[in-house]
A and B are shown apart, each in its own frame.
Chain A
Amino acid sequence: MCKKHLPRSVSRRDILRYTLAGAGLAALGPLGRGLIPVASGAPIAAHRRLVSLFCYGGYDGLNLLVPTTNAAYYTRRPSIAVQPANALDIGEADYRLHPELDRIAALFGTGEACAFRLVGYPQANLSHFISQDIHSWGVRGDFSPLGIDESGWVARYADLHAPTPMGAAAIGVGRPLEFEGGMSNPFMAGSLAGFEFSDSSIGSSDHAHRMATLSSVLQSYSGDTLTTEAKNALDQGIQLSDQIQLAVSSYQDPMSGSPFSAAYPTSTPGRYLRDAAILIRGGFETRVFMTGFNGWDTHGSQGNETGTMANLIARMDDAVGTFVDDCKDMGVWNDTLLLISSEFGRRNFENGSTGTDHGHGNIFFAIGGNLSGTARLYGPDITEADVSGQNWLHYEVDYRDMFREAVANHLGGNGAAVFPEVQAINTFLGYV
């Protein structure tokens, strides 16, 4: 079973390790591999964190940040438009939020959330999978002129700034392309509660015995690239499972754990963001969290204030709102930035099945305790001509400016190294 999309000449399997050209980082040795993570139960680490929540399927940004005074929006979306009276006021004359974004709307009111309009990248690609890959790589064109091998942007960040096994974490999204390449070994979990070995029913002594044998086999193992990937993944599981379980049980402790342990919605984003909070409260040194959930490919029966997409929005909003409260309780909110994005926007008009087909330009969000800008909205205004005269929104803000500023100004990292490609459009946003 192979991924069908190999838009570049090299397959994922053969992705060479990202070369740390020149930098004195070679002194760190085999980055990440085998380093002992910060033990769970340590105090909450004092450093900045970035959480990327990716909405797979291409969400319809125009129904998230609704251009309530844009007549073309209502003309072209007779049944799926969100009506101004039902949308949430964020203090902007021409834009309101979808009614299910109530918790995020409140954060707009306190200067803890903002949105970016007309976000995209050069040469729109309307394939989910190519567009997702472009976002994962942080590179639109070829890697060869950049002098680096193919790698995801989180892998590049982790190599430079967070090379330990817990330095970057993917939760619930498998092993995303963001983590491919590079020399660090980010943490990937589907569910922290399930991140442990089952004992053999034959008897716990047998389990300990076979685990000891397995560990000794792994210690002496040396193989090719692929089997080494397998070995590293298993090593990581063995090394971390006890600490992860300690973090889970500490988080859930009714006396000393999180007061929000039971408050998260049981939806997919709720579970994933709760797991992120467990890692933070557990004292792990994770800098970048990558998570997301799908369902946003609303070709049919998209709904408006209610319906399919509204349900997805509600799930996202409840999960994010709870996570923000949890972070505030932990005292880490001023160190935390959450970015919400998706592979592309959708058509300006509804199709015959009251849904929307694939488009390009979109609206992204940033939520955090230390947003520096005073603006609630970044990027140009969405004009009537943008909506009426085009099939889909064009882009005027490269999504990488949003992420680069997060890496450079929020995380204090080398934004130019993580997003090295020369862009056709550069925008200084100054939101963080």
Chain B
Amino acid sequence: MHTPRSLRSRCAPIGALLVALLVVPACGGGGGGGGPEPSPGTPAYLSLAPKAALTDTDVRHFLQRTHFGFSQPHYDAIGQLGFGPYVDAMTTYADTTALETAARNAYLVDAQDPTGDFPSASDLARWWLYMALLNENPFQERMALHWHDHFATSTTVLDTANSHYFINHVTLWRHDGASNLRDLLITMALDSAMLVWLDGISNVDGAPNENFGREFLELFCLGVDVEYTQQDIVEAARAFTGFRQRFDAATQKNFIEFDPARHDHSAKTVLGVLIPAQTPGAGEVHEYDQMVDIVLGTNEAGTGVSRVGQWIIRSLLEGFCYEDPPQAVIDELANDLRAAAWDLKPVLMKLFQSEAFFSAEAQAGIVKGPIEHVVGFTRTTGLVGNPSEIDRRLQLMGNRLTQPPTVDGWPGGTQWLSAQGMLDRANLLNYLTEQSEGLQASLSITALQLLPAPDADSTATVDSLITRLRVTPSDAERTALITYLDTERDNGGVVTPDLFDPVGDPTEAENRVRGLLWILGQHPTYQLR
């Protein structure tokens, strides 16, 4: 029922993207400071004390982990504002209405669907990808992606009448990703897309459906077999009964409502806490926020550390810091999170400024997923592609925004490093570094803009680009890359030495830099973040 949006998506979004890639982010100042004193006896990877002085490498590491990759304007803004104030500003999300309006106009609204309430699955994926590529605060999008992976929900269960649920779903992660965990958990649990995805709308009194109850405990809040039993799942499922989906003929849209008649009003005991029986009838209310408070009240025996705190902090550390987070770091931040009445911002600020975050263990690298790979490459080089084409390829690579494969999110880690996965990355970078789309040409985006100086030679160019992309070749590899820039190869395959000359032959130099970027994008070290 929707017209193709190819023309639209080839023009408006890209123009805005160019602006977004070059603009200095609007960061508010102020804040920061405080925090515990560094403790000299603690190894850096265990220390949440603020790191005293950041090196150039540290700042690039920070951008890699939190901004998808290097970006000169953000790098400069850190220098101008100071690191603490920058992290404060980054975790205080500015109004992004302009970006959302542009995305909505580009992907959700068209002549057949002027309200934008009937998006297709592709519309939704591209709408979000567009914002991930453009947002002047990349952290906001990186954080949203993190929660999308943790509370993984997919558009695959939605249809024309209820696909609009996913707009609110994405907006939750994008707007409130650094807000309050308790609020997030409640909103997530009651989210319409979630209620469809994990069968909340078919979970009724007398015949509970355990799907959401299980994943709420297992995947979202506590971790596998932590504190809960099968009986807790059964009881939780009963507490989660009562919602149903209905169709509104006037709007042609589905909506979800709480129906007391479908709710199990008898008492439940979840994780040892009693949810009292309710009086049956119209006054009956759902028990979702009680359920959230019950899990938030679950602590580890002996230590008293919050179990939800541990699970959420572990997830954040695995996403942003290191894959095997030490228990001491998990527990300290989990305690901080509860002490902050579940506000995420102070915990995130502490983490991103900590010695642990910049420790050698944390900088050792985490495998990039395809979304991180392509969004990072685009943001780092400025070489843009059509979001629709990028989305098509991400779908093939099994990492489409809006469609995690299961409620467990994406497998991640080395599972991305298959031969097929590497070929797909190479081919996506081929698309971004080629010029056949004409987008980059029409917007005067050139790879030569990345040169350290307009007349930079091959050595200076290679050194600048490997620093920018955080590729770390050996001396021999670096020499091979320099030689590549200083070589011409004709159609017959004959290779001739020919010095890189961006002033004298900018067309040839442009092609060689694009080829170099393609090679750097395949480098083993570029596959890590």
Write the residues of chain A forming the contact surface with B, with a CB cutoff of 8 angstroms.
1-5, 7, 11-14, 56, 125-130, 170, 174-176, 180, 187-191, 194-206, 208-210, 213-214, 216-218, 220-224, 226-231, 233-234, 236-237, 240-241, 294, 297, 299-301, 351-353, 355, 357-358
Contacts and interface: CB of A to CB of B under 8 A. Distances in A.
Contacts of B149: 1
B434 A200 contact: yes
B396 A226 contact: no
Interface stretch (B250-258, B340-348, B384-392, B520-528): B520-528
Given A352-B207, A357-B210, A189 B199 contact: no
B415 A126 contact: no
A185 to B, nearest CB: 9
Interface in B317-367: 318-319, 323-324, 364-367
Given A1-B369, A2-B323, A352-B203, A188 B418 contact: yes
Interface in B471-493: 473-474, 476-477, 480-481, 483-484, 487, 489-493
A231 B214 CA distance: 39
B62 interface: no
Contacts of B431: 198
B489 A206 contact: yes
B480 A216 contact: yes
Ranked 3 nearest A-B pairs via Cβ: A352-B207, A353-B202, A188-B418
A203 B528 CA distance: 29
Given A200-B518, A209-B487, A351-B207, A229 B414 contact: yes
A299 B436 contact: no
Contact of A206 (B405, B492, B515, B527): B515
11 contacts: A2-B323, A127-B225, A174-B418, A200-B514, A201-B435, A209-B489, A210-B484, A227-B365, A294-B405, A352-B202, A355-B199
A227 B419 contact: no
Interface residues of B, number: 89
Contact of A213 (B202, B411, B481, B493): B481
Contacts of B519: 210, 213-214, 217
A205 B490 contact: yes
Contact of A200 (B367, B398, B430): B430
B434 to A, nearest CB: 4
A7 B408 CA distance: 14
A202 B437 CA distance: 12
B176 interface: no
A357 B211 contact: yes
Nearest to B241: A352
Contacts of A200: 430, 433-434, 514-515, 518
A300 B214 contact: no
B422 A237 contact: yes
Contact of A229 (B315, B417, B515): B417
Contacts of B208: 351-352
Contact of B422 (A13, A221, A222, A230): A230
Contact of A236 (B209, B419, B424, B525): B419
B436 A201 contact: yes
A202 B515 contact: yes
B161 interface: no
A202 B511 contact: yes
Interface in B361-380: 364-367, 369, 372
B210 A210 contact: no
B412 interface: yes
B489 A197 contact: no
B436 A3 contact: no
B152 to A, nearest CB: 9
A56 B411 CA distance: 14
Contacts of A299: 199, 202, 209-211
Chain A CB count within 10 A is highest, among B214, B416, B524, B525, for B524
For B398, B409, B420, the residue with the greatest tally of chain A CB atoms inside 10 Å of its CB is B420
